[in-house]
Amino acid sequence: MKQTGEQLLFQLKSRGPQSAATLAAACAITPMGAHKQLQALQEQGLVDAEDQVQGPGRPKRIWRLSAAGHGRFPDRHGELAVQLIRQTAAVLGEQALDRLITAREQEMLAAYAGRLQGARSLQARVQRLAELRAEEGYLARVEKAGKAWLLIEDHCPICAAASACQGFCRSELSLFTQLLGEGVRVERSEHLLAGARRCAYRISPA
């Protein structure tokens, strides 16, 4: 299944969004087999699906790579980001780099806050936050932990940048704290850059 899954990802990367039937023909498998593996890839956050109306009859489900799916293919964005971070600190100074990170944080806060409107309970806000992070490739999910919730991120799409400047990690913790509001405690319980296999945040009423 792993090999066929990689073939499906390659087809979506090289040929763009397609139906399960088209992908099945390209990978020499049955449409049912393609659909089953696409669902597994969707559960991993690597592909997304959209139902499109194309004339009379039932809508056709079209599959495409998610941000995390695109991240499975080599690129040099991480290397470029690290170079820019180092050059910014060297040429403009650490304070300039901190201002850039703060500006990014405020932009994300405004965007996230708009998407969290209508989520009144803490649980609803945490779940909505996880959905937003998943859309950005963090493979985020929520687990209940007693009276608290764990926001778990199984992947970090900005790991290279965060490794070069841990101000990004501090900024994200600050972002979550501001976003979830007063009376909520947000603590990083696992940290990828500290040797953990993922990042996780414990969120509870203060």
The last residue of one of the domains, among 12, 40, 70, is: 70
Which pLDDT band, with edges at 50, 70 and 90, does 148 fall under? Answer: very high
Q: Are residues 65 and 125 in the same domain?
A: no
Which of 70, 87, 112 is the endpoint of a domain?
70
pLDDT of 2 higher than 80: no
Residue 113 sits in the same domain as residue 160:
yes
Q: How many CB atoms lie within 10 A of CB 24?
A: 21
Q: How confident is the model at residue 36 (pLDDT cuts 50, 70, 90)?
A: very high
Final residue belonging to a domain, choices 19, 43, 70: 70
- Are 166 and 105 in a shared domain? yes
Among residues 5, 77, 78, the alpha carbon closest in space to that of 42 is found at 5
Residue 114 is part of a domain; what is its CATH number? Answer: 3.30.1380.20
72 three-class SS: coil
Question: Residue 4 belongs to what H/E stretch?
Answer: helix 2-15
Percent of the chain's residues with pLDDT above 70:
97
Mean pLDDT, the chain, rounded, equals 90
Q: What is the pLDDT of residue 14?
A: 84
Same-domain check for residues 63 and 114: no
pLDDT at 75: 64
What is the percentage of the chain residues whose pLDDT exceeds 90?
67
Q: Which residue has the higher pLDDT, 14 or 8?
A: 8
What span, in angstroms and rounded, lies between the C-alpha atoms of 181 and 130?
A: 16
Query: In 93-166, which ranges are continuous DSSP H helix?
Result: 94-116, 122-135, 159-164
Tell me: the pLDDT tens digits for 77-132? 677 788 888 899 999 999 999 999 999 999 999 999 999 998 889 999 999 999 99
Residues forming beta bridges with residue 64, ordered by sequence position:
48
The total number of structural domains in the chain stands at: 2
Distance CA 146, CA 49 (A): 34
pLDDT interval class at 135 (50, 70, 90): very high
What burial class does residue 42 get, using C-beta atoms within 10 Å of its C-beta: 0-12 exposed, 13-18 middle, 19+ buried? middle
Helix (H, G, I), strand (E, B) or coil at 143: strand
Q: Is the pLDDT of residue 1 over 60?
A: no
> What average pLDDT does range 52-62 have in this prediction?
84
Instruction: Fill in the DSSP letter of residue 38.
Output: H
Q: What is the pLDDT of residues 175-185, one digit of tens each?
A: 999 999 889 99
Q: For the domain that residue 62 is a member of, what is the CATH number?
A: 1.10.10.10
- 160 vs 12, more confident: 12
Same domain for 63 and 85: no
pLDDT at position 169: 94
What pLDDT does residue 53 have? 84
Domain assignment of residue 122, given as a range: 77-205
Residues 82 and 145 reside in one and the same domain: yes
Token pair in block for residue 20: 């399960």
What residues contact 169, with CB distance under 8 A and at least 6 apart?
162, 188, 191, 193
22-26 mean pLDDT: 93
66 and 103 together in one domain: no
> Do 117 and 168 meet the contact criterion of CB atoms below 8 Å apart?
no
Residues 87 and 64 in one domain: no
Indicate whether 152 pLDDT > 60. yes
